[in-house]
């Protein structure tokens, strides 16, 4: 099996044309444009989903039930993890169709293949960034206090992007061979939402299930997103373990992708 590493270079060396990054940007913009071109509300859809979810959980856990989870203000606590979760959920869900959705494009344009996955990470990442004003708004309304750990927010974004890319690089090619994976992924994502510290904090977990938080790279990443408002959520050991798991996921993703991409192109 020829590995894609020795993929032919079409451009003469030194040619300014067709850098992979430019193609990535073009495809990201294309994804966003297609998404927004087809709906009147456009941008608001990408905020509406996490906002509605957050409001529902806020209502249940701080108005209906006596709450012992998370921290005050609870709506800000929810949003700091909900917005990144929507990025993760959307991008991983979409990456199962990374090749299948634009099959003709993949069959007619010779780009470095990882771009087909990366553009999904980027498009959903841009939607995530665009949804951040909601967080700012609710933080202002509720008078949430901000500390210097807010500077860890970009680190959270980088780790999240790397994790999604890793998962996507594993999922995208395998779905082409094993179509049932698409459904399996949706199921796993639904379970993962409750298994991740979104509506609760990693420290709220009873000792029995604590290993769960350590095995889930999202715990450390959400901790980074939350630290700027809730410094008690920051557990450096957890962040370290999550970063390590993210790195391993990305590495496995690259290996799986390289091994399988030749077969994927034949299958399309």
Partner 1 sequence: MTSSHEVASPSGASQQGTPGAAPAIITASGLGVRFRRNRGARRSFKDLFAGKQRRAHTGEFWALRDVSFTVHAGEAIGVVGRNGQGKSTLLKLVAGVLLPDTGHVTVHGGVAPLIELTGGFAGDLTVRDNIHLTAGLHGLSRAELAERFDSIVEFAGAEGVLDTPFKHLSSGMKVRVAFSVVSQLDEPVLLVDEVLAVGDKAFRTKCYRRIDALLTEGKTLFLVSHNERDLRRFCSRGLYLDQGELQLDGPIDDVLNRYNAEHNS
Contact footprint for partner 1 (CB under 8 A): 1-2, 4, 6-12, 15-18, 22-23, 26-27, 30, 33-34, 37-38, 102-111, 174, 177-180, 261-262, 265-267
Question: Minimal distance in Å, beta carbon 73 to partner 1?
Answer: 39
Q: Using the minimum distance from each CB to partner 1, give the nearer residue, 63 or 108.
A: 108
Question: Minimal distance in Å, beta carbon 177 to partner 1?
Answer: 5
Q: Using the minimum distance from each CB to partner 1, give the nearer residue, 191 or 237.
A: 191
Q: Using the minimum distance from each CB to partner 1, give the nearer residue, 89 or 102.
A: 102
Question: Minimal distance in Å, beta carbon 184 to partner 1?
Answer: 8
HEC secondary structure over the chain? CCCHHHCCCCCCCCCCCCCHHHHHHHHHHHHHHHHHHCCCCCHHHHHHHHHHHHHHHHHHHHHHCCCCCCCCCHHHHHHHHHHHHHHHHHHHHHHCCCCCCCHHHHHHCCCCCCHHHHHHHHHHHHHHHHHHHHHHHHHHHCCCCCCHHHHHHHHHHHHHHHHHHHHHHHHHHHHHHCCHHHHHHHHHHHHHHHHCCCCCCHHHCCHHHHHHHHHCHHHHHHHHHHHCCCHHHCCHHHHHHHHHHHHHHHHHHHHHHHHHHHHHHHHC
Q: Using the minimum distance from each CB to partner 1, give the nearer residue, 56 or 103.
A: 103
Question: Minimal distance in Å, beta carbon 4 to partner 1?
Answer: 6
Q: Using the minimum distance from each CB to partner 1, give the nearer residue, 17 or 194.
A: 17
């Amino acid at each position: 099996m020829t590995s894609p590493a020795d993929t032919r270079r079409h451009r003469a060396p030194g040619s300014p044309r067709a850098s992979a990054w430019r193609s990535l940007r073009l495809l990201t913009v294309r994804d966003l444009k297609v998404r927004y071109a087809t709906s009147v509300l456009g941008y608001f859809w990408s905020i509406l989903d996490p906002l509605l979810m957050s409001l529902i959980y806020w209502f249940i856990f701080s108005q209906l039930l006596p709450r012992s989870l998370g921290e005050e203000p609870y709506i800000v606590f929810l949003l700091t993890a909900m917005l990144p979760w929507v990025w993760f959920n959307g991008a991983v869900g979409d990456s199962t169709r990374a090749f299948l959705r634009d099959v003709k494009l993949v069959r007619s344009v010779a780009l470095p293949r990882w771009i087909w996955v990366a553009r999904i990470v980027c498009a959903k990442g841009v939607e995530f960034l665009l949804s951040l004003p909601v967080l700012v708004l609710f933080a202002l309304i509720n008078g949430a206090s901000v500390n210097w750990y807010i500077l860890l927010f970009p680190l959270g974004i980088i780790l999240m992007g790397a994790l999604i890319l890793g998962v996507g690089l594993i999922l995208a090619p395998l779905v082409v061979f094993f179509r049932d994976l698409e459904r399996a992924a949706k199921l796993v994502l639904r379970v993962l939402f409750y298994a991740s510290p979104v509506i609760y904090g990693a420290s709220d977990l009873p000792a029995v299930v604590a290993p769960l938080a350590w095995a889930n790279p999202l715990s450390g990443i959400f901790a980074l997103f939350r630290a700027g408002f809730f410094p008690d959520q920051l557990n450096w050991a957890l962040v370290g373990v999550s970063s390590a798991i993210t790195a391993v996921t990305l590495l496995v993703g690259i290996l799986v992708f390289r091994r399988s991409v030749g077969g994927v192109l034949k299958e399309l």
